[in-house]
Every structure is written in C-alpha cells, then in structure tokens.
Amino acid sequence: MRLIDYVHQNLYVSYELEGVDKEETYLDNDDIQEVSYTNLDGGDYIYHYRVYEGDSAKCIAQLDVPLHKSYSFWEEPSARRLILLAIIAAWLLVVVIVVTRAERTIQNRYDARLTEETNAELAKLAYTDLVTGSYNRNWFEQERERLDMGSVYAFFSVSVDHQEYIRNKYGNFYF
C-alpha cells in the first residue's frame, strides 16, 4: 500500500506492526505495493508507516494506524474453557466405557465359573446320597446306559449293622 507518494526519487519507507514485527522493514518507495499480516491473534495493534529522506535518513512523514482484530471463537477465554471441558468430558467418557467393559468381562468370567461350580455341585448331589455320600440310583442308571447294559434291572446291595459282633461270633467269611 502506498500511503505517501513523493516526487523525490531519493526516498525510502519503513513499516512495522507493533507487537508482531521485531524491527522496522525498510524499502524503496517504489518497491512497496501492499503489506498483509495473516494469522494474527485477536487484540489491538498499531501499524507504523514512515517516510525517510534518502540522503539524511531523516523521517519526513509518519503515519500511525491503530488496528483492532476481533478474537476468533477459539481464542476467547470462555471458548478455550469450553474446549478444555469438552476434551476432559470425552476423556472421562472413554475411561467410563473402558472400565464398564472391564467390569462386564470380569462379571461374565465370574458368572461362568460360578455356573460351572454350581453345575458340578448339582451333578454331585444328583448322583450321590446326601447322608452316606455313596452313589444313588440315578448314578447306576446312568452307568447302565453308558455301559449299554439295558438288561440289568436290579442291583443288590447289602448293608450289615453290628459288623464287629457278627465277626466275633461267626468269624470272617468271604465271597
């Protein structure tokens, strides 16, 4: 942008955006066409434009333009807080999902083991006598089917009380 145009050939100009440029940029008066700044943060700036006489390096004209750039949505402090809260909420959601899946997996394994143990205990109770712990009729029927002994219909079992008295009186006898 050519703000000041002089007829003199021995002039040069400088420009600087205060808060962005570290030092002034010097150019011949004919070289400068436009100056643009991109990706500026929101805030207030002052644009300095100066014209210098070439022989004496004396500033013969100066223009200071105050500029205000509005903050973008994501540059606002409240928006940054909202973004931070959204990130934290998403992270917490991921943690909750992972923990819930882990708990569900643990619960399923526990339920499967409990079911196995319960089924084993029920099978033991179904095939044994609760008082003596010996096999009952269900076990013998299952064994008969397993051994393919369809013609066996009876099983003989003898329980002798007072075994010591009988042994002392009649002695040991074997079959």
Between helices 77-127 and 137-146, what is the axis angle to 10°?
Answer: 90
Residues 6+ apart with CB under 8 A from 24: 14, 15, 16, 48, 50
pLDDT of residue 105: 96
Asked if 47 and 68 touch (Cβ cutoff 8 Å), the reply is no
Residue pLDDT, tens place only, 71-85: 777 777 788 889 999
Asked if 41 and 75 touch (Cβ cutoff 8 Å), the reply is yes
Residue 26: pLDDT band with limits 50, 70, 90: confident
How far is CA 18 from its chain centroid?
A: 44
Rounded Cα–Cα distance for residues 168 and 162 (Å): 10
Average pLDDT over residues 46-64: 87
Global pTM reads 0.42
pLDDT of residue 70: 83
Backbone phi, psi, residue 156, to 5° = -105, 130
Average pLDDT over residues 101-127: 93
